[in-house]
Structure 1
Amino acid sequence: METENSNNNNAFKSRPIPSPITHLSFMASQIWLRIVAAATSVTAACLMFNSRQSKVLFGTDLDARYSYSPAFKFYGMMNAVACAFSVLSLLPVFSLGRKFSNSINYFFLFLHDLMIVLLLAGGCAAATTVAQIGKYGNSHAGWMPICDNFGKFCHKVAASLILGYVSLFCYLLLTVISANKARQVPV
């Protein structure tokens, strides 16, 4: 009986309890990365939703708009969703601010962050593919590049994509941090 109790006590002693500085850095990184992710994703969505340019070429009015591409629409919507979930996820992060939270809460935060990473990665990949075709064309399919004629449109799309990838990187960091915290916190 004595050895069984000492084994149980050793099991609890072997799990390190995070220091207040570690917990404080976790909270600060969660809050700031979520704010940066929300700001970059809302800016990326606004840039994408406002990317349009009209031009007269050879006597014909031509338009370049984000809404002409389903990939650009998907990208804009995924950034808007990521922004909304970034702001909403601040509430559970503040509730996790208690010093000794259950690890299942951190696991749910990890799942949330992973879901947003997947949505942002899909949106960024789709929009990057269409942007690459718009910039360079595809001679095998007979698609001509449009960025030579619609530079303003292409610059807005490029800026939106850069911000989208910054948001994706922030959420990737949040996913790693949340997974690490879920692994460390005692049940």
Structure 2
Amino acid sequence: MALENGTKSDLVLDSKYAQIKTKLVKQLPLALRWLALMATTTAAIGMGLNKQSKTSVVAIVGTQPISQTFTAKFQQTPAFVYFVAANAMASFYNIMLVLLRPFFKGRENALCVHILDLVIMVIVATGAAATSSMAELGKDGNVHARWNPICDKFSAFCLHGGMALISSFAGTLDLFVLNIHSLVSLHRSVQGQQPVDPSV
């Protein structure tokens, strides 16, 4: 009798565990999309508002110092402009998918969403990669080309840019995991194992 009760309670626990696991797996795409949305939005805003001015003495005429104000802002570097545009586009795309989620059901829509997710992931990844190369140049300069580093002079600009870059790479990682989940769901759907769940 005790063994039967133990078996029944084990079955109930297994059933509850399976239900919780199914719910978590169903909510994973939406959670990943929200994370990607927050990361790319943070990256776009962080870099878009990134600006620092510094006044330096450039010459001394007699005893009178002549100062000039230098400003570092993201618009001065095409890679940073592309970075802001790429992350803003990804943010807009993800918010639209979250809002229009009920309309994206079925295998055909899931395939379209998966392809668009791949495109957006590539755009965000290339924006982050281009910005990384410029960030390294700003931090270390280039001895061979005789380009001096600027991060020793514009430390706040470089710090905010670095934080935006980290956020963008986090968004890329979220989109990558989302694409893997979408691919697995589509594969299972084609194999007839389960109904397709578009990653929205």
TM-score range (shorter-chain normalised) is 0.7 to 0.9
**Residue 140 of structure 1: SS of its match in structure 2?**
coil
Instruction: In structure 2, list runs of 5 or more residues that go unmatched.
Output: 1-17, 58-66, 196-200
Distance 1:135 1:177 in 2: 37
Q: 2:131 aligns with which of 118, 127, 131?
A: 127
1:90 to 86, 95, 98: 98
For the Cα contact (< 8 Å) 1:31–1:93, is it kept in 2? Answer: no
Give the whole-Å Cα distance in 1 for the aligned partners of 2:183 and 2:73: 39
Structure (1/2) with the larger strand percentage: 2
Q: How far apart, in 2, do the equivalents of 1:158 and 1:42 lie?
A: 15
TM-score by length of 1: 0.81
Q: Aligned pair 1:103/2:103, yes or no?
A: no
TM normalised by structure 2 equals 0.76
Structure 1 position 23, deviation (Å): 5.5
- Distance (whole Å) between structure 2 residues aligned to residue 20 and residue 73 of structure 1: 46
Shift of 1:93: 4.0
Aligned residues: CA RMSD: 1.9
Question: How far apart, in 1, do the equivalents of 2:116 and 2:25 lie?
Answer: 17
Q: Which residue of 2 aligns with 1:57?
A: 56
Q: Which stretch of structure 1 is more off in the superposition, 26-35 or 85-94?
A: 85-94
Number of residue pairs matched by the alignment? 165
2:41 aligned partner: 42
Q: For 1:39 and 1:133, how far apart are their aligned partners in 2? A: 28
What is residue 114 of structure 1 aligned with on the other side?
A: 118
SS in structure 2 at match of 1:89: helix
> Structure 2 vs 1, CA of residues 112 and 92 (structure 1 numbering), >3 Å: closer, same or farther?
farther
1:97-124, CA deviations, whole angstroms, 9 ceiling, x for partnerless residues?
A: xxxx643332222112101111001100
Q: Which amino acid aligns with 2:94?
A: S
Distance 2:183 2:70 in 1: 49
Unpaired segments ≥5 residues, structure 1: 1-18
- Cα separation, 2, equivalents of 1:124 and 1:65: 17
Counterparts of residues 1-187 of structure 1 (less than 5 Å): 24-58=23-57, 59-91=67-99, 93-95=101-103, 102-185=106-189, 186=192
2:174 match: secondary structure: helix
Match of 2:4 in 1: none
In the TM superposition, residue 64 of structure 1 has moved relative to its aligned partner by 0.7
Separation in structure 2 between the aligned mates of residue 84 and residue 95 of structure 1, nearest angstrom? 17
1:72-111 Cα offsets, whole Å, 9 max, x none, are 0100011000001011112454445xxxx64333222211
Letter in 1 for 2:35: V
Partner of 1:3: none
